[in-house]
Amino acid sequence: MRYVSTRGGVAPIGFAEAVMMGLGTDGGLLVPASLPRLDAATLKAWSRLRFQDLALEVMSPFVGEAIPRDHLAALIERSYASFTHPEVTPVIRLGDQWLLELFHGPTAAFKDVALQLLGNLFEFLLERDGGRLNIVGATSGDTGSAAIAGVRGKSRIHIFILHPEGRVSPIQERQMTTVLDANVHNIAILGTFDDGQRIVKQLFGDLEFKRELSLGAVNSINWARILAQMVYYFYAWGRVAAGDPHRRVSFAVPTGNFGDVFAGYLAKRMGLPVDRLVIATNRNDILSRFVHTGRYAAGEVYPTLSPAMDIQIASNFERYLYFLLGEDPAAVRGLLDDMARTGSLAVDAGHQAQVRADFDALAASDAETLDQIRATFAQSQYILDPHTAIGVRAAQGQADTICLATAHPAKFGEAVTQAIGREAPPPPSLQGLLEKETRCARLEASADAIRAHIRATLAAASQ
């Protein structure tokens, strides 16, 4: 399988190169040059596989020659051994819907499904092909801890994660700072999340520094993350279809950066019998406005009870535009130019009809989010986290819908307490965090201070 950029400026590359490149060198996102098409017999066979075996089947054509099949199988086994549920991503019945629980990994949120695999892929490719990787990123909470959990203890990799001191929840802070592996470097900056993002941008903009230290991003746009996320769409369908390869289902997906729901879109393009993909957003509703109007216009970012979805520019959206526009990089560049010039882009009537055929969308307010947590708890004694609650709300009244449960409710105790008057019992990975030993540097919020700290830390580590 070869990969190309949505902007057309990367000569076709293989899987290993695409994973190590992350963002395309032309600023675009990497996408497969073609998609496998599945027939009913294949789907039927896949519907009976355990999660890890299914992952091997789904990923193999996309990995191609880059990694021998038995190595890939071992890598997948290792990645999902860190999940506490035997099914990895179980599907449960919730009223007249289904819930796909994606939060049984080490940080209790769905990003583990992709980042546990990505950490192992990085390690395997660096050991085989040589090189090293220093990941630098800023986090407002969830992504940082999942990225750290993905690469802790891995050889040839260091990770530096900046968080704003005192501005992430105590649990989120401890999920990062209690990881004591020698290659994990937490930095509390005396500033805001925006300061952290600005500093990371400055460091990546310093091309000399970037090359010298082999800097890599937290890779929210890495192709391997999409690939890992496609697996559970097939898995969930298999649990519900129970051997009937023509059984159709819909998915409701709590959405921020469009990565998760895009994985579902690709699964559908490959032939998974999906009726509707429902984009569920909070008040930051750029995507739902796009589905309803065909216009994509950034607005202000509002803080909500579902903070992992407080996003205005969805970084994976460009991948969808590429497929919507018939895999035509020039057309993608045209729309992105509009966006850069005017702050918005719009698709024509024909494409807008296609968008509506591809997706439904619903945005929920904080009050509606709390109402849904309350209603589901009253009905089923099941506690939803605020992100999942938005998905469940979007799925309401639609038959045969599987809602993606993206976080464990114990991670968002404040919202849950507001809704039902108590917190959810924490899973083992979140227990005892406040008593554990921590390690974290405190630095002023300046690129110079962070740059010097990264240099000194790496120099000490290589002694």
Ligand X SMILES: *Cc1c(COP(=O)(O)O)cnc(C)c1O
Which residues form the interface with ligand X (CB under 6 A)? 109, 111, 142, 254-260, 308-309, 387, 406-407
Min CB(101)–ligand X separation in Å: 12
C-beta closer to ligand X: residue 89 or 257: 257
Q: Which of 234, 54, 218 is nearest to 151 (CA)?
A: 218
C-beta closer to ligand X: residue 79 or 306: 306
Query: Which DSSP helix (H) or strand (E) runs through 252?
Result: strand 249-254
Judge whether 11 and 28 are in contact, CB under 8 Å: no
C-beta closer to ligand X: residue 13 or 179: 179
Structure tokens at 125: 């490719």
Other CB atoms within 10 Å distance of the CB of residue 208: 7
Active-site hit among 44, 111, 154, 436: 111
Other CB atoms within 10 Å distance of the CB of residue 105: 28
| Cα three-residue angle 301-307-310, rounded to 5 degrees | 25
Distance separating alpha carbons of residues 240 and 246, to the nearest angstrom: 11
Active site residue 111: yes
- Name every residue whose Cβ is closer than 8 Å to that of residue 449 and which is 6 or more positions away in sequence: 443
Min CB(371)–ligand X separation in Å: 19
C-beta closer to ligand X: residue 256 or 294: 256
The sign one gets for the Cα dihedral 382, 384, 389, 391 is: negative
Identify the bridge partners of residue 158 per DSSP, sorted by sequence position. Answer: 134
Q: How far is CA 18 from the centre of its chain?
A: 17
Structure tokens at 251: 């998915």
Min CB(448)–ligand X separation in Å: 31
Question: Residue for token digits 């097939």?
Answer: 234
Min CB(261)–ligand X separation in Å: 6
Distance separating alpha carbons of residues 122 and 139, to the nearest angstrom: 20
Min CB(441)–ligand X separation in Å: 25
Instruction: Assign residue 24 a region (left: φ > 0; alpha: ψ between -120 and 50; beta: otherwise).
Output: beta
Catalytic residue positions?
A: 111
